[in-house]
Each structure stands twice: as structure tokens, then as C-alpha cells.
Amino acid sequence: MNHSNVMNVASKRDPDMRRKSSRVPAATSAFGFRTSDFLRASGFGLRPLLFACSLVAFCTLLCACTVSAAPVKVIFDTDVGNDVDDVLALSVLHALQSRGECELLAVTITKPDELAGPFVNAVNTFYGQPGIPIGFTHSGLTNEPSKFLPLAEVKDGKKLRYPHRLKRSSDAPEATALLRKILSRQPDRSVVLVQVGYFSNFAALLDTAGDASSPLTGRQLVQQKVKLLSVMAGSFKPNSHDLEYNVTQHLAASKRLTRDWPTPIVWSGFEIGIAVPYPAVSIERDFRYVPHHPAAEAYCLYIPPPHERPTWDLTSVLYAVRPDRGYFGLSAPGQVTLEENGFTRFTPAPEGRDRYLTLTEVQVARVKDALVELASQPPCK
């Protein structure tokens, strides 16, 4: 997700916000730190077994907890590989699923990279969920090489560091076919779609015809099955005219969805993720319960600490699953329209379909704490 100013791109993937690509670390590397260093720094000294047992007990207790509300049914649509916040957002979803707060029905991918699907499958497998369906884009967009998707091919000795079954993205089902299949099987108005990449897949879904999964058109199927679209896109900062990467990269699809989407949309604008940078110290310390963690390694390959990456995609996930916890404020209802260059214009309207997230200083602190706790939570397998 790059984010651009009309005159000067202020982008989520602006080269000014990135460093040159790092090579995949050797098998002996643990995000650039030795486990023994971590044990000494964390005060555990020669007691790693006690530390490990404590983590297992904590995870077991956490995963045993239940919530009274039914899990939120989520489909996650991502351009994973362009930026690392997609990976952290997927980690957050797995943590929320382990707590019984959501059910991750599928992951659909808009980045046309043959390693995007295997990487997502590897992350899902790391979290003990290898069977989550994955759909791949057929949008024909131009691909840019990723700094961290090659982690899907890294081996320690003869074994994959992050095991996965999907060998290539193109071996996965086409995204719109998978979306139709999954949606058709859900109760009416029960699914929350989370879109944190290009608009390609969900816009294409609107144009699908009836098929073996459902006689409904794509738009009819969305209207019947989808409760909310939580989207990381746009910019709603007052007195600014920013262009946002997710909107501009497939502008025709963005215009199609923004014009014709039939359910409520909540937008997390560029300014929200910027306001909540992910703490570098969490990347350095909180993922060390395993020698190799896909989210932490991806982060370090993208831009290593002390850089603190904005939490753009994570905010859309957090709102989608916990909309009533007071993490964010909401604008008044209105209508988002796209100008020719992709600028997202919000016009207040009492019966409007769209709202966007807002943040106070107090909420910033709460959101950051919640995202760190969830993103770094150990897998509950």
C-alpha cells in the first residue's frame, strides 16, 4: 500500500520509506540475534526450559478461553509481499481466531506473485491452520519483486523453514470463484470482508455471474451474505489531498467497487496507520519464543528495526473483529467517491453507506497495545 500526495507521493511503499532489500538470512540466524542473547537479556539466564514451559502454559490458558459472542466470520483480502503490515495483520487474525473471536474463512491475494500464495500458506501452517483456503488474483497487474516472500522457499538443511503445501500461487483457486464458493455457504449478512490491498478481487466479484456455487450475481451474493467491508484505503485527513496506494494501483477496480458496493464500508485511511507505528522493540523481543518467526523475519527483511512500520492493515483487521471495543471513533455517515486521479472524497450524508475511522491520543495507546499483544501471540496449535 503506497500512499501518495498529489504533488509528491507520500506512500506506504514509497522508496523513501524503505531500505534496500536484505538477503534471506542463513539458517543459523534468528532475526539477526542469537537465542542465548535473548535469554540473557530477558533475565532467564540458564532457565530456558522454565521460560518455554511458561509460554506453553500461557498459550494453553489463552486458547482455552471462550467468548460469549459468536466468532466474526472473516475473509482477508491482501496484497501480501508489497509491505510487511499485511503479515502482521494476518498474525493478528490468527491470534483472534485462537481466542474464539473470529473465524478466518479464506485468504484471497491481489499481488500477482507466484510466492504470495505459498507464503500465506506457510504463515497459516505456522499458526496451525494449514487448511485455510487461499485464492489468487487473475487481474493481470504488474508484479514487483518482494523483499520477504522468498522466505517461503528458505530451507534449513533439507527442510523448509516454514512448511507449506501450496507450491505456486497459480495452483490456488481463482479468487472470485473461491469467494463465491465461501460466501454461498455462509448465513445471510454474516461475513465481514477485510480488504488491505488492491481492489481487484472484490471489484471483480461484483461482476461475476451465477454459477454452481450460487445462482446469484456477484453483487447480489455480496448484498445477501456480507455484513461489512472493512477496508484499508484512502485518506481522510482534513485539508489534505493525498492519494493512497491501494486505491491508485488498480484504479479502475477501485472506482468500480467504490461506486457499486452494496453493503456498509468502514475505511481505515492512510492517516490511521501512520498514527500507530508498530514498536520496533516488539519485533526484537516478543517473537523470540521460536528460533524463526515468519512475521518477525519478514519485518526484518522489509525494513529492520529500529524502523517502526505503520500499522495500516492491522487497524482494519482490529476494527473488523472488535468494532465495539472503543479502539476507534467513526465519522458520521456519508458517501466516498473517487476522483479521476484516485483521491477519496468523503461527503457527509445521513443515510450514507460509508464511514471512516478516527483516533484520539488515548485510543492510539490502546490500539498499539492491542496490536502488539495480538500480533506477537504464540500459535495455539
> How do residues 107-123 score in pLDDT, each as one tens digit?
999 999 999 999 999 99
CATH code: domain of residue 196: 3.90.245.10
The answer to whether position 53 is within a domain reads: no
Q: Where are the alpha helices (DSSP H) in 234-378?
A: 245-248, 251-260, 270-275, 280-285, 294-302, 312-321, 361-375
User: Is 183 in a helix, a strand, or coil?
Assistant: helix
- pLDDT (tens digit, 9 = 90+) per residue, 302-356? 999 999 999 999 999 999 999 999 999 999 999 999 999 999 999 999 999 999 9
**Arithmetic mean of pLDDT over the chain:** 88
* 148-170 burial code (b ≥16 CB/10 A, e <16): bbbbbbbeeeeebbbebebeebe
Residue 52 lies in a domain: no
Q: Would residue 79 count as lying in a domain?
A: yes
Domain count, the chain: 1
Residue 122 in any domain: the answer is yes
Structural domain contains residue 61: no
In a domain, 50, yes or no: no
- Please give the residue range of the domain that contains residue 332: 3-13+71-375
pLDDT of 95 reads: 98
The whole-model pTM stands at: 0.86
Q: In angstroms, how far apart are the furthest CA atoms of the chain?
A: 63
Asked if residue 59 belongs to a domain, the reply is no
Q: Report yes or no on 31 lying in a domain.
A: no
